[in-house]
A and B are shown apart, each in its own frame.
Chain A
C-alpha cells in the first residue's frame, strides 16, 4: 500500500517543491524562514480542519459546516474569555470547552447523516446556515476584541518553540494524532475499509452508522481545536472571518489526493495539499498579483486536480467492466 500512495503524495510533494523553486526566483523574500513559517501559520487552521475533512471524505461524505462550526466555537470562547479571570485555569477550561462544543455539533451532523440517512451535504448545509445565522444574532456581526481576553491566553498564543508558533505545533500534533488513528486503530482501519468498499465492509461486520457518527464527531473535535488556533492567531473573534473557508478546506483535501467519492485519502497528502494552496497564495502575493486572481488560480488548480482524478477513476472502471471474449 505504501508505494502507490506514496507515489501520489510524492507527486504532490514534487509540485510543492517545483513551486517553491520557481517562487524563490520570483521573489527573494519567499525562501526565508520567516516567510515559510508565516505561510505555515496562516494555513494551520485550514490544515487542522482539512485533516478532519480527510476522514469524512474517505468515507464518501462531506462536511460543509466546518467553517461555521469553528466560527461558533470561536464566538462562544470569545464571549467566555471576556468574562474569564486572568488565571491559568481559564486556559484549561477553554481547552476543555472548545473541543467538547465541536464534538457536540459534529455529532449532531453525524447522527442526522447516519441514523436519519439525510445526505451529508444537506445536513451540513443546514447546520452551516443555522450556525451562521445564530453567530450573527449573538454578535451583531461585531468583532470581539482581545483587550479584555485573559492575558494567559495572549501569552499562550505567543508561545514559540525554536521559533515555531504554537499554532503550527497544534496543526502538526493534530496531523500526527490523526495519522496514528488512521493507521493503528480499529476505527481508523474501518474508516478506510468503508471508503474502499462499503458493501464488503458491511459483509465483514463493520458498523457503518457508528463509523459515520465517529468521522463527523471527530471533524467537530478538530473544528473545536481549530477554533482555539484561529482565536490564538487573530487574537480576536471576527464573526464573519471564516465565511467560505470550508471550500479551501475541501480543496486542500482534494488536492492532497483524496477522492471526493470516497475510499482514498491520506493525512500526509492533505497536509501537502493545504501547503500547496498556501504557497500558491503566498506566491501570488509576493509576485504582486491582484488578490482576486488568487481565487481564480485556486479554483483552476482544484478543477484540474479533480478532473485528473475523475478521468483516472473512469478509466479504472472501464477496465473492470469487461466480458471475456473468446479469441
Chain B
C-alpha cells in the first residue's frame, strides 16, 4: 500500500479556446492537510471540479484513489467513494433540517416510494455531530444557522458518508477569527482520524497554520509540491506569480491632466470601506486584488448602481451623488461590466444596433423615430476608429471574435462621449494577440484625454496598461503603487498579506533557492 490516498497525474482540461489545466499532477497523502494554491484563474477550481466528478478531464489522465483507478463520472460517485467537497458557497438545502442535510444522498437511486426513516436519519446526524462536538437540535432548519454552523453541518455530512478525503474551498472566507480557530481544531481532529484534507485558500497565514504540504498551480500548469516547512510566505508568492512575461510593462506616462474623479472615504457596509483615490484626465488607474475583494462593488458604486453608505465623491471638482446608471451616463461615466456576453452586448443584433443603444434618444427625429442613416454612420465611425473586424455595421455582434466584440462594447460606451471609462476585466476570455490590441486601444483612449479605471485580476495586464495601481484586499485599498515601482510580487503581497512587501531582493533570492 502506498502512502497516497489520491494520485492525479497528467490531468489536462480544455475548454473551447482555453486550456484550463495542462498536464497537472496532484497527490495527497493519507491523513495530511494539503493546500492547493494559485492565483485567480490558475486552475484550482477546475482541478477540484474534476475531482468532484463535475468535469471530465481530457484523454490521458490518470486518477487513482486508494491506489485504484477511480471511476468518477458524476458528483455522487465521488461522494460514495469517500470524497466530499465543501464548496465556498456551501451546498446545503436551507429549507431542510440539519438531520436531512447530513443524511441526504444516501438514498439516491432507491425506490421513490421508499419510506423515509426519520429516526435513522436523526441518529446518523447526531452521531456525526457528536464526533465534531457540535451540539445542535437536528430538527433545526439550516437557514437558521450561521455560516460557521452551516460549514460544520457540511463537515458532519462528510463524516456521515465516511469520507476519506474532504476538500474545503475557501472555508474561512466568511468566518470570524474565533470560528476559524474552531475550524482548525476540527481539521486537526479529522487529521488524527486519518482523513485527508485539501485546503483551498488565498489566505497565506492560515495556509501555513494548517497545511502539511502545498501544491502550487500557475496558469493551469503544475509548479510544484512543497513541504510546508521548507517555504515561507514570500517564497510561496514568488512561486504563485512566477516569471511570466506576457506583455510589456507600461512605460508611457499618462497625461495626468485635471482631476476628473475624486473619492474620499467611500464606504458601503459589507462591500468596501474607506476608499479614497483620484482619477485624472488621460490617466489609467488599474484596480486589482483577489476576486471578492470588493473591486466590482466599488466600480458599481461609482456608476451609481450600488449606493455607498458614506463618503464623498467629486466629479470635476463638484461634489456629486450618482443616483442611477442613467445619471452616471449623463455625467459622462461609462461602465463596461465583466461579462460581455450577458451584460455588454446583444449578440443577435447588429453592430449598429449595439453601438447606438445607449444614445438612441439622441438619434430621434421630430416624430420620435430613429434616424437610421445617422445611426449607421455612428456605428461606422466607431468601427473605423476602433478597428473592429469584420468592419461591417450590419453583422450580428455574435459573429465576431471575443476581442472584436469587446471593441464593439467599448465603441458602444464611447458613443455616450464619456469623460470616465470604467472597464471590468477588459480582456476576459480573449486570446493573447487581441488582448494586446485592447491594451493599446485603452492607452490610445487615455492619450486622447479619457480617464480610465481598469479592473483586472491579471497582474501582467494591470502592469501593461496602468499609470497607477490600486490593490484591494477585504474591501479596502491595501496599497497604491506607481507603475514605475509596481511588480507582480509587490502587488500580490498587498493583495494577499495586505502589507508592504518584504523587499524585492529577498523575493529574487527566494526564487533562486526554490528551483522549480
B-contacting residues of A (Cβ < 8 Å)? 1-5, 183-190, 192-193, 195-197, 199-206, 210, 214, 263-264, 321-326
**Complex interface residues of chain B between 369 and 414 (CB less than 8 A to chain A):** none
- Known contacts A1-B141, A185-B115, A186-B107; A323/B294 CB under 8 A: yes
Judging by beta carbons under 8 Å apart, are A205 and B93 in contact? Answer: no
Provide the bound-state CA to CA distance between A131 and B173, in Å. Answer: 53
Q: Mark B96-120, 1 if CB is under 8 A from A, else 0.
A: 1100100011011111111110100
- Known contacts A323-B271, A323-B272, A325-B273; A206/B115 CB under 8 A: no
Judging by beta carbons under 8 Å apart, are A199 and B116 in contact? Answer: no
Contact residues in A for B100 (Cβ distance below 8 Å): 189, 193
Judging by beta carbons under 8 Å apart, are A205 and B114 in contact? Answer: no
B71-79, B126-134, B218-226, B233-241: which one contacts chain A? B71-79
Q: Output the least CB separation between B82 and chain A (Å).
A: 15
Q: A184-B118, A193-B96, A323-B272 are in contact. List 15 more A-B contacts (CB 8 A).
A: A1-B95, A5-B141, A185-B115, A193-B104, A195-B95, A196-B93, A199-B91, A200-B92, A203-B91, A204-B79, A204-B104, A205-B79, A323-B294, A325-B476, A326-B475
Total cross-chain contacts (CB, 8 A): 116
**Complex interface residues of chain B between 341 and 376 (CB less than 8 A to chain A):** none
Give me 21 A-to-B residue pairs in the complex whose CB atoms sit less than 8 angstroms apart, sorted by A's number: A1-B141, A185-B113, A186-B110, A192-B96, A193-B100, A196-B94, A201-B93, A203-B52, A203-B75, A204-B76, A204-B79, A204-B104, A210-B112, A264-B95, A323-B294, A324-B173, A324-B475, A325-B269, A325-B476, A326-B473, A326-B474
Chain A CB count within 10 A is highest, among B95, B269, B273, B476, for B95
**Complex interface residues of chain B between 272 and 324 (CB less than 8 A to chain A):** 272-273, 292-294, 297
Contact residues in A for B107 (Cβ distance below 8 Å): 186
- Known contacts A204-B105, A214-B112; A324/B95 CB under 8 A: no
Judging by beta carbons under 8 Å apart, are A205 and B293 in contact? Answer: no
B interface, by DSSP: helix, strand, loop or mixed? Answer: loop
User: B258 contacts the other chain (Cβ, under 8 Å)?
Assistant: no
Q: Output the least CB separation between B120 and chain A (Å).
A: 13
Chain B CB count within 10 A is highest, among A2, A4, A189, for A189
Judging by beta carbons under 8 Å apart, are B474 and A323 in contact? Answer: yes
Judging by beta carbons under 8 Å apart, are B270 and A323 in contact? Answer: yes
Partner of B95, one of A186, A188, A263, A323: A263
Q: Output the least CB separation between A48 and chain B (Å).
A: 21
A-contacting residues of B (Cβ < 8 Å)? 52, 54, 74-76, 79, 91-97, 100, 104-105, 107-116, 118, 139-141, 143-144, 173-174, 269-273, 292-294, 297, 473-476, 498
The 6 A-B pairs of least Cβ separation, nearest first, read: A205-B76, A204-B105, A205-B108, A196-B93, A200-B91, A325-B475
Partner of A325, one of B75, B113, B139, B474: B474
Judging by beta carbons under 8 Å apart, are B75 and A202 in contact? Answer: yes
Q: Output the least CB separation between A165 and chain B (Å).
A: 30
Provide the bound-state CA to CA distance between A196 and B96, in Å. Answer: 7
Among residues of B, the one whose C-beta sits closest to the C-beta of A186 is: B114
Judging by beta carbons under 8 Å apart, are A204 and B75 in contact? Answer: yes
Provide the bound-state CA to CA distance between A321 and B269, in Å. Answer: 11
Contact residues in B for A187 (Cβ distance below 8 Å): 112-113
Among residues of A, the one whose C-beta sits closest to the C-beta of B175 is: A324
Provide the bound-state CA to CA distance between A143 and B356, in Å. Answer: 58
Provide the bound-state CA to CA distance between A200 and B108, in Å. Answer: 13
Provide the bound-state CA to CA distance between A324 and B272, in Å. Answer: 9
Chain A CB count within 10 A is highest, among B111, B113, B293, B473, for B113
Provide the bound-state CA to CA distance between A187 and B107, in Å. Answer: 10
Among residues of B, the one whose C-beta sits closest to the C-beta of A262 is: B95
Q: Output the least CB separation between A261 and chain B (Å).
A: 12
Q: Output the least CB separation between B179 and chain A (Å).
A: 12
Contact residues in B for A202 (Cβ distance below 8 Å): 75
- Known contacts A326-B474, A326-B476; A197/B74 CB under 8 A: no
Q: Output the least CB separation between A223 and chain B (Å).
A: 20
Judging by beta carbons under 8 Å apart, are A205 and B273 in contact? Answer: no
Q: Output the least CB separation between A110 and chain B (Å).
A: 14
Q: Output the least CB separation between A318 and chain B (Å).
A: 9
Among residues of A, the one whose C-beta sits closest to the C-beta of B137 is: A3
Partner of A1, one of B75, B140, B269: B140
Contact residues in B for A4 (Cβ distance below 8 Å): 141, 143-144
Provide the bound-state CA to CA distance between A192 and B142, in Å. Answer: 13
Contact residues in A for B139 (Cβ distance below 8 Å): 1-2
- Known contacts A197-B93, A200-B93, A205-B79; A324/B174 CB under 8 A: yes
Q: Output the least CB separation between B107 and chain A (Å).
A: 5
Among residues of B, the one whose C-beta sits closest to the C-beta of A5 is: B141
Q: Output the least CB separation between B169 and chain A (Å).
A: 13
Chain B CB count within 10 A is highest, among A183, A197, A322, for A197
Partner of B116, one of A1, A189, A206, A210: A189
Contact residues in A for B293 (Cβ distance below 8 Å): 323
Provide the bound-state CA to CA distance between A326 and B203, in Å. Answer: 14
Q: Output the least CB separation between A315 and chain B (Å).
A: 13
Partner of A205, one of B105, B111, B115, B498: B105
Contact residues in A for B115 (Cβ distance below 8 Å): 184-186
Partner of A186, one of B96, B116, B269, B271: B116
Contact residues in A for B273 (Cβ distance below 8 Å): 325-326
Judging by beta carbons under 8 Å apart, are B113 and A192 in contact? Answer: no
Contact residues in A for B144 (Cβ distance below 8 Å): 4
Contact residues in A for B297 (Cβ distance below 8 Å): 323
Among residues of A, the one whose C-beta sits closest to the C-beta of B80 is: A205
Provide the bound-state CA to CA distance between A261 and B115, in Å. Answer: 27
Among residues of A, the one whose C-beta sits closest to the C-beta of B297 is: A323
Provide the bound-state CA to CA distance between A201 and B101, in Å. Answer: 11
Contact residues in A for B141 (Cβ distance below 8 Å): 1, 3-5
Judging by beta carbons under 8 Å apart, are B97 and A1 in contact? Answer: yes
Provide the bound-state CA to CA distance between A189 and B273, in Å. Answer: 43
Q: Output the least CB separation between B136 and chain A (Å).
A: 13
Provide the bound-state CA to CA distance between A195 and B95, in Å. Answer: 8
Provide the bound-state CA to CA distance between A281 and B433, in Å. Answer: 69
Among residues of B, the one whose C-beta sits closest to the C-beta of A318 is: B270
Provide the bound-state CA to CA distance between A4 and B475, in Å. Answer: 34
